[in-house]
Amino acid sequence: MAALWQKLVGLVRRDDQSIALPTSPGVVAPAPPASPTPDEATPFLASPPRLAKHLPHTGGIPSYDSTATLINSPSSSSFDSESLYEHHRSLFTWTEGLAEAKILIRLTCPVVFTYLLQSSINMASVFSLGHLGAEELAASALATMLASVTGWAVGIGLVTALDTLCSQSFTGSQDVHAVGTYLQRGIIIITACHVPIVAIWWHSESLLLLLNQDPVVARLAGLYLQYLALGCLPNLLFECVKRFLQAQGIMHASTLVLCFVAPLNMALNYALVWWEPVALGFIGAPLATSISYWLMFILLCLYTAYIDGYQAWGGWSWKAFTKLGQFLRLGLPGVLMICAEWWAFEYVSLTVSYFGNTSLAAQSVIMTTSSLSFQIPQGIGVVSTTRVGNLLGAGRAHAAHLSSLLSIGLAVILGLSNSAIFVAISPWWGHAFTSVPEVITLVAQLMKVAAIFQVCDGLATVTGGILRGMGKQRLGALLNIPAYYAIAIPLGLYLGFRGGYGIFGIWAGLCIGIFAVAFGQLFFYFRTNWEYEVERCRKRVGEEGSEYLTHV
């Protein structure tokens, strides 16, 4: 652990060196930006002229002197708590903070609603199959878990590269179609990646039998995944197009699509599972989900083509088949970052099953509740990724710093609010899911533990989003892996089994692991040299072959 910590500190120290980045041959390094005057009011998000008319999506506030204070700011490695407070107080005004907070809240609301609707796609299948029988319900839960760890986690991890590349190039590149080129590369890589995922799902019954699962449940889970495989590619491509639009500040497009698809998915689940004229029984649920994934992807593409977002597309180009390594340098660490977290949570759910059916039932209630509350910090994290990436691409180190700080503050406030709600509803929340007294009592006790989890989880999610906006997926992976697999899981197993605390020990280990992630990401966040991050962004955008954006 000591060696890993030294490596992490060294990684950040290398990033904090305020030296000029090497430029491509023939490209002149940009001069330091001049401070804007009141007569030179510029958009909060500077961009190439051809994109200026599309910037209302991202919101704007009057410009302000962002350079003078940054040039004389202390180095990131010399902060102590007092100087950090004074430094931040000197950087930002209440007017700037209030304006940016309004933008963050306005952008976050549709994103949170989008994720809530998206989570209902899978929940509809659970409700549909729950009345068929215990084996069908168990098979769907097992199939959903296997789909998460072998498919969705890998695909979403790769797509995190678009969080960085699209958001930074939208404001940082003179090429209006650079964002579209990155999307095309994402489509190429995701299409190739989905082939082994589908192969695993198609033969999942054999895999589950090797893991000593019940033969009947394994057969049904394998059948579920074979039909779900039909929707694997469109769901991942939907995530790609969603990032493409979010980078342009178009947050509401996926919300509108899901407002139509989510209710339709519920109707499809009922019809294909239960409605006699077309009822297919068990396979109806995954088939309905796959149809919904195709509708989500097609409708979002139609929105982009005919309503908004097409301006950054530019059409298919052979250029998309080049420089795939740049995408993978961000995408592969993103896979490690996402998989480390998702796999840890799935492992915890499996471990709880050893404590009996009561603990397993209570765990199901807590995880369902936590997954719903998680959509709030996840929405803030997505918006912070886009805002930080946009602002760094525009050369606005000051604004990126402000936006990230406000995102963290918002995460803390909403995390505390979630915690208070968890404690307040804990005595009666279990009644909404079951009538078994033992489960209700255990849920009431676990809700208080989960309340502590809310703040740490929110902080970890939002700071992780900020890291992705800066293109630091590798740092996130290096923090997540030891936090979950050297702290959370071993400590939880020790407290749960050797310590005799049962499911409470498992959750205690998980809370401590999440705290380690949040603390580690905050530690490196507060060491960030924002001027240097702008230069790193310029170098990354420059690798695409476009000219550097001139400061305004």
Specify whether 385 is located in the same domain as 364: yes
Q: What mean pLDDT is predicted for residues 305-321?
A: 91
**Sorting pLDDT into bands at 50, 70 and 90, what band is 82?**
very low
Q: What mean pLDDT is predicted for residues 510-524?
A: 94
Instruction: Establish if 76 belongs to a structural domain.
Output: no
The predicted pLDDT at position 130 comes to: 73
The predicted pLDDT at position 103 comes to: 92
Q: Which residues of 465-488 are buried (b: 16+ CB within 10 A; e: fewer)?
A: bbbbbbbbbbbbbbbbbbbbeebb
197 lies in which domain range?
Answer: 110-322
Average pLDDT over the chain reads 82
Q: What mean pLDDT is predicted for residues 445-460?
A: 91
Instruction: Establish if 226 belongs to a structural domain.
Output: yes
Name which of 26-35, 166-175, 408-417 the model is least confident about.
26-35
Instruction: Establish if 24 belongs to a structural domain.
Output: no
Specify whether 276 is located in the same domain as 412: no
Specify whether 305 is located in the same domain as 362: no
Percentage of residues in the chain having pLDDT higher than 90: 59
Instruction: Establish if 464 belongs to a structural domain.
Output: yes
Q: What mean pLDDT is predicted for residues 455-481?
A: 93
Cβ partners under 8 Å of residue 193, min gap 6? 154, 155, 158, 236
Q: Tokens at residue 208, please? A: 């589950």
The pTM for the full model equals 0.80
What confidence tens digit (pLDDT) does each residue in 234-277 have?
999 999 999 999 999 999 999 999 999 999 999 999 999 988 88
69 has pLDDT over 60? no
The predicted pLDDT at position 435 comes to: 80
Instruction: Establish if 270 belongs to a structural domain.
Output: yes
- Do the Cβ atoms of 543 and 326 come closer than 8 Å? yes
Closest CA to 274 of 130, 135, 138, 139: 130
Instruction: Establish if 299 belongs to a structural domain.
Output: yes
Q: What mean pLDDT is predicted for residues 180-195?
A: 96
Other Cβ atoms less than 10 A from the Cβ of 498: the count is: 9
**Sorting pLDDT into bands at 50, 70 and 90, what band is 106?**
very high
Looking at 322, 351, 368, the residue that finishes a domain is 322
The predicted pLDDT at position 432 comes to: 81
The predicted pLDDT at position 245 comes to: 96
**Sorting pLDDT into bands at 50, 70 and 90, what band is 10?**
low
Q: How far apart are CA 546 and CA 7, in angstroms?
A: 33
The predicted pLDDT at position 6 comes to: 55
161 has pLDDT over 70? yes
Looking at 295, 322, 349, the residue that finishes a domain is 322
531 has pLDDT over 70? yes
Give the count of domains, the chain: 2
Q: What is the DSSP string of 437-460?
A: HHHHHHHHHHHHHHHHHHHHHHHH
The predicted pLDDT at position 544 comes to: 58
Torsion of CA 196, 199, 203, 209, to 10 degrees: 10
Looking at 322, 352, 379, the residue that finishes a domain is 322
Q: What mean pLDDT is predicted for residues 166-183?
A: 91
What confidence tens digit (pLDDT) does each residue in 282-297 have?
999 999 999 999 999 9
**Sorting pLDDT into bands at 50, 70 and 90, what band is 212?**
confident
More confident residue, 89 or 421: 421
Closest CA to 484 of 147, 112, 153: 153
Instruction: Establish if 283 belongs to a structural domain.
Output: yes
- Do the Cβ atoms of 508 and 450 come closer than 8 Å? no
